[in-house]
Structure 1
């Protein structure tokens, strides 16, 4: 457990959930964003109350790593807290009743894949798994309560923190999404297949016939990729040869520049997947690019991911009736999260419910940045 030194004079603390940069692959992650939850087989996968659709897994946090001062001592200090969200709600602000659920489990289980709809491949998207560190930050003392008719004037906020202080290393202020990667191509055969499949999926639209007309050729290309070994390095000449095959056909909706644009948009996602997958996969990223990537990954903007204490000030301050802050999940390019236009997801629970671990009674809403 790390501690960020502050000038706050308060017994209360907040916990910042810090993505590991660099990732310590030699350690077993105790908490993580994305990937798959580890929960006992008898625990049902949460579903949206309104639609019955399986929710997306967002985070699993080890409660043993949470400090005693968090939530004034309320809540569990054993087991794990799991956060599930209906990702269809990313773009809209306001309350999200029934579309966010929190589970507490006493022990780990096997990795669980999300359930699919019967007779369909549709289901929650599994995002990249990113190990987390728990970083404790003191918070300012609670100010006097505001007038009852103006709860938004309370003014209780965390102390500001930048990526340099959180990581103790350099940070690049340019947003990750704006980065023009110097070398736009997959580094392994696994990445090549993923990039190609994603590009075809992105460009598929009514009237596009290239994919169907060249189905046999595409299947042969995929089969050849699988024969190479998924994490085998891909040379420049091998990529040039493969790209030439893919861009040899032109249809009404398929042009080389559109294909290249789709590849560029997907190349960052492919690189991030390689960065978090394993030490071997990360080693396929050229050192010069890795040196540019990691300072960008340490850029947390103005709003970190956190648990406990006051929420960060987005469209106003925290209010006295909010309750205990279970989760604040910020927009994060590295995770592919965009909450309500560069905002954040906030999940609160009444202190009395947190004391008895009644996590079925939570309140969640999104606020734009």
Structure 2
């Protein structure tokens, strides 16, 4: 289905939804229906039916047609006018609701017009995409080449004019997002408007999303923010969902500085941006496939990644392998209940039961209890050995210099520790109440999709730390690490690529392709550790009239929907 067809389908769906909402609004405004008045009881003296008047034989012969007992018929028969106030009885019907009042009708019509205009606007944007004379794609360099002398980059630190204070928005230090070299922009971009010298630096308020565009005449040395990002920064969101769990303290709280190439795209040119993307990202594929972090590709590469690894391991094994003490396990409690029900059934007590079902359940729970007991013994020993290694890492972190050999020794020691995971699966024979019990015995360093313990959590943090080092051109990463990291980054970059000068990739309400210019669009990005809205796009536009006047202080900032 094309984007235009999708917009048409959306228009139909929105219209139907609006009509349903309007109907509910109209019904609510009508109030309760007034019940009909009760019928007047028939008077005892009133005859139960009309009687024809006495007629002569001549008159009776004339009136051979079927009898109508109604005022009009009686009038024809008697020659008299119909009784006043009598008429043909009207068919009974439900009381009709009054039409909506003018205010309700006007509100409904305005809502429908707004929704139709929105869908038509989106269809117009779809038609115009790709027709720009030229647009720019912000292509992250993979591998990074210009880490020291980049002229355009995302994240990191800006290079402002000498003695320029750090930009603020309403007395709040702003977050730096990007700096773009204006001298590298095509002449026809933005219809030839806007600066073509110096650079444009883009800043955002850390909480409400207002933005500031600074024209830098002569970029100087990199300038760091006056304070690190705090926990209230709503746009900081590392890859892997770290923002929403207990791993957030281990993430690098910064946007990595990533040099980008400004790639011009004209009608008919290949587009480096993966417009469709993939619902199955590299992290999900790796999770399902399983892997062992004892592989040199996943080793810690500095003390920050090493200590994070040790703390995550301690946090996870302490949670799952706590000694239950003398309290019976849930498995033992469930097995005792099944035994009691079988005993009652054997003695003729209680309600009738399916003995086969209960016997299969008892056999399953007995096997499960035995497997869980054996696993607990193995895991208790694994916990003690792992905590010894964790203590060594903590002690060494503040005393020794980091070395890859030491990291390899730690990961090798962890790999020798075995732990067990008991899984319950459907019975392959399909017996009622029965289950298949499977025990997986794994190295402590292995991630198995059916036994996730801690390795994938460590991998998420490893990637977060590794991408910062990679973007900065660090030589701390091994060849094995680069072999797995670069494809990962390349896929994310293609799916999350920003742009300049195009019709916005995603829908925004306030945009006129003839009057507005897209100064910057940044999708939410795991590579850059930022998220806008609900994984949406940040779109900054300006009126072309403001560009003509050299006004950069009136940006229009929107988050797509």
CA 1:163–1:260: 2 relative to 1, 3 Å: same
Determine helix, strand or coil for the equivalent of 1:269: helix
Per-residue deviation, residues 49-89 of structure 1 (Å, max 9, x unmatched): 2xx32111111111111010011111111111111123435
CA 1:127–1:193: 2 relative to 1, 3 Å: farther
Distance in 1 of aligned mates of 2:550 and 2:394: 51
Alpha carbons 1:331, 1:337 under 8 Å: kept: yes
1:332, distance to aligned residue in structure 2 (A): 1.7
Q: 2:221 aligns with which of 110, 114, 119?
A: 110
Determine helix, strand or coil for the equivalent of 2:219: coil
1:227 aligns with 2:227: no
1:44 aligns with 2:165: yes
Alpha carbons 2:278, 2:495 under 8 Å: kept: no
Q: TM-score, normalised by structure 1?
A: 0.67
Distance in 2 of aligned mates of 1:17 and 1:235: 36
Determine helix, strand or coil for the equivalent of 2:173: coil
Alpha carbons 1:199, 1:266 under 8 Å: kept: no
1:292, distance to aligned residue in structure 2 (A): 4.1
CA 1:73–1:292: 2 relative to 1, 3 Å: closer
Distance in 2 of aligned mates of 1:121 and 1:332: 19
Aligned residues: 302
Q: 1:359 aligns with which of 540, 548, 552?
A: 552
Determine helix, strand or coil for the equivalent of 2:495: coil
Alpha carbons 2:537, 2:559 under 8 Å: kept: yes
1:17, distance to aligned residue in structure 2 (A): 0.8
Alpha carbons 2:300, 2:306 under 8 Å: kept: no
1:237 aligns with 2:409: yes
Determine helix, strand or coil for the equivalent of 2:397: helix
1:258, distance to aligned residue in structure 2 (A): 6.8
Alpha carbons 1:34, 1:127 under 8 Å: kept: yes
1:265, distance to aligned residue in structure 2 (A): 2.6
Q: 1:273 aligns with which of 465, 468, 472?
A: 468
Alpha carbons 2:299, 2:408 under 8 Å: kept: no
1:236, distance to aligned residue in structure 2 (A): 2.5
Distance in 1 of aligned mates of 2:540 and 2:311: 32
Alpha carbons 1:187, 1:284 under 8 Å: kept: no
Partner residue in 1 for 2:149: 28
1:131 aligns with 2:259: yes
Q: 2:305 aligns with which of 189, 192, 197?
A: 192
1:345, distance to aligned residue in structure 2 (A): 0.4
1:345 aligns with 2:473: no
1:289 aligns with 2:484: yes
Partner residue in 2 for 1:253: none
Report which stretch shifted further, 322-331 or 20-29: 20-29
Determine helix, strand or coil for the equivalent of 2:194: coil
Q: 1:306 aligns with which of 476, 481, 499?
A: 499
- Alpha-carbon RMSD: 4.2
CA 1:366–1:160: 2 relative to 1, 3 Å: farther
1:18 aligns with 2:139: yes
Alpha carbons 2:254, 2:529 under 8 Å: kept: no
Distance in 2 of aligned mates of 1:282 and 1:357: 45
1:8, distance to aligned residue in structure 2 (A): 6.6
Q: Which has the larger radius of gyration?
A: 2
1:77-88 equivalence runs, <5 A: 77-88=196-207
Higher relative contact order (CA 8 A, sep 6+): 1
Partner residue in 2 for 1:248: none
CA 1:22–1:197: 2 relative to 1, 3 Å: same
1:300, distance to aligned residue in structure 2 (A): 2.0
Distance in 2 of aligned mates of 1:236 and 1:43: 46
Which runs of 5 or more residues in structure 1 are unaligned?
Answer: 1-6, 90-95, 141-158, 166-170, 204-215, 245-255
1:308, distance to aligned residue in structure 2 (A): 1.0
Alpha carbons 1:59, 1:83 under 8 Å: kept: yes
Alpha carbons 1:177, 1:333 under 8 Å: kept: no
Q: 2:191 aligns with which of 65, 68, 72?
A: 72
Q: TM-score, normalised by structure 2?
A: 0.46
CA 1:198–1:160: 2 relative to 1, 3 Å: farther
Report which stretch shifted further, 322-331 or 185-194: 185-194
1:115, distance to aligned residue in structure 2 (A): 1.1
Determine helix, strand or coil for the equivalent of 1:281: coil
Report which stretch shifted further, 186-195 or 100-109: 186-195
Distance in 1 of aligned mates of 2:401 and 2:474: 22
